[in-house]
Amino acid sequence: MAGMSTLLAVLDAVDAQPMAVRLRTRSYELLGDLTGRTVVDAGCGGGRAVAEMAERGARAIGVDLDPQMIAVAQERWPAGEFHVGDACALPLESGSVSGYRADKVLHTLDDPVRAVAEARRVLAPGGRAVLLGQDWDTIVVDSDDPETTRRLIHAKAQTLPSPRVARRYRNLLLDAGFTDPVVEVHTGVFTDDTALALLHRIAEEESWLAEQAERARADRIFVAVPLFLVAAQG
């Protein structure tokens, strides 16, 4: 639970950033008019997006593989609809939703191709899918030791099942039969304690983190994360 609490704290801090709010809003816009439509948020985590899409008039369904995350989502958003489930085997009937959203999810999966095929299965004809996330090899960190920085970011990427999947979003959707993809890249910039919290999740090398902590104290920490947003028609 301690590890999940730390993860939730970081996710909450990132989600509260103005850039993150704008990016979530943009992802909803790319789904189209949500009024009266059923949409699924695969890998919903703490459920914030489900609540926000419901506020836009959708019947929003959150699915996450982690029962603890689903419990948090149900506690935070008691009016929401949440289910424990796998993004590669969603607990939904074929063609039962008109919108599909996966935010910072596909990099955690061994088989993102299967997850996108599952998105195609649950979407009704003409439905829209939106994929959102970072490419873990493209995180930018200002440091006095760029070689160590590159090594640590690459090492972190290698611990993930599909660290570079975001650069493949467009092609994954096309290969699954989606059409008319829209590709956007937005960059999150972090120059406060949130940046330091993110870096602590990337690496444990003390001297490198010490430099970043000193940068944070001097208001010189800088982390930029390009986020890839791709929408397509089912």
> Tens place of pLDDT for every residue, the chain, 234 residues?
556 667 777 777 778 888 889 999 999 999 999 999 999 999 999 999 999 999 999 999 999 999 999 999 999 999 999 999 999 999 999 999 999 999 999 999 999 999 999 999 999 999 999 999 999 999 999 999 999 999 999 999 999 999 999 999 999 999 999 999 999 999 989 999 889 989 999 999 999 999 999 999 999 999 999 999 999 999
Q: SS3 for 80?
A: coil
What's the pLDDT at 46?
92
* Length, in residues, of the chain: 234
**Cβ burial 142-162 (10 Å sphere, 16+ → b, else e):** ebeeeeebeebbeebbeeeeb
What does DSSP say about strands 223-233 and 123-134: parallel, antiparallel, or unpaired?
antiparallel
Q: Which two tokens stand for residue 157?
A: 């990427």
Based on its alpha-carbon atoms, the radius of gyration of the chain, rounded to whole angstroms, reads 18
Cβ proximity of 120 and 101 under 8 Å: no
Structural domain tally of the chain? 1
Name the DSSP class of 129.
E
DSSP-derived pairing of the beta strands 59-64 and 123-134: unpaired
Range of the domain at 112: 2-233
| CATH number reported for the structural domain that contains residue 219 in this entry | 3.40.50.150
